[in-house]
Amino acid sequence: MKVVVGITGASGAIYAYRLLEELRKRGDEVILVISDAAKKVIRFELEVDIEKLYELATQVFENNNLAAPIASGSYPVDAVVIVPCSMATLAAIATGQADTLIRRAADCALSEGRPLILVLRETPLNLVHIENMMRAKIAGAVILPAMPAFYHSPKTVKDLVDFIVGKIFDVLKVPHNLYKRWEGERDG
């Protein structure tokens, strides 16, 4: 798989880090772009520095490089995952503002009918956020909020994070054991 991973400045950089680790384990090709705001958040939230994230990618581009291959829909990729996705980037995607590489890659994914997964993180949500989610969803994006479940009895933060990474893999149709699936309650 060739996947674009865009990291934006919402809280939850750890979701991106774990996704990159898992994609690397699988041997997928990863094209990584990190927004300026995300670089700041990564410094606050992760114990590893940004170089470690870059090492997990196949190729890295700056977010202002609108001449990168992924800025064109003619460049084939299997999916674009924005994780975590800020409300600012959601708003840009929902309104067609392709003014950064991450936003442009998302725009191209929608144009080409390729999977675009937005791992949103904000709470509480205002009406603008909700309307933007609706617009992005109608345009073809998968709205995948960073909203871990508890039915798989998570014991650690990693368990919670891996639940979301597993959900991303579910959308990408990638087999995984990142969380234990609900098997249903037995009668009697």
Ligand X SMILES: Cc1cc2nc3c(=O)[nH]c(=O)nc-3n(C[C@H](O)[C@H](O)[C@H](O)COP(=O)(O)O)c2cc1C
The footprint of ligand X (CB under 6 A) covers 8-11, 35, 37-38, 40-41, 44, 86-89, 121-122
Structure token digits, residue 138: 């109608």
Residue among 1 and 91 whose Cβ is closer to ligand X = 91
Strand spans (E) along 8-93: 29-34, 59-62, 79-85
Q: How far is the CB of 50 from ligand X (least distance, A)?
A: 14
Strand partners, 143: 118
Q: How far is the CB of 146 from ligand X (least distance, A)?
A: 9
Which helix H or strand E contains 2, and what residues bound it? strand 2-7
Residue among 28 and 103 whose Cβ is closer to ligand X = 103
Residue among 86 and 117 whose Cβ is closer to ligand X = 86
Q: How far is the CB of 38 from ligand X (least distance, A)?
A: 5
Using only the alpha carbons of the chain, give its radius of gyration: 16
Nearest residue to ligand X, scored by beta-carbon proximity = 9
Which helix H or strand E contains 112, and what residues bound it? helix 101-112
Residue among 35 and 168 whose Cβ is closer to ligand X = 35
Compute the distance between CA of residue 155 and CA of residue 35 in angstroms, rounded to an integer.
31
Q: How far is the CB of 44 from ligand X (least distance, A)?
A: 5
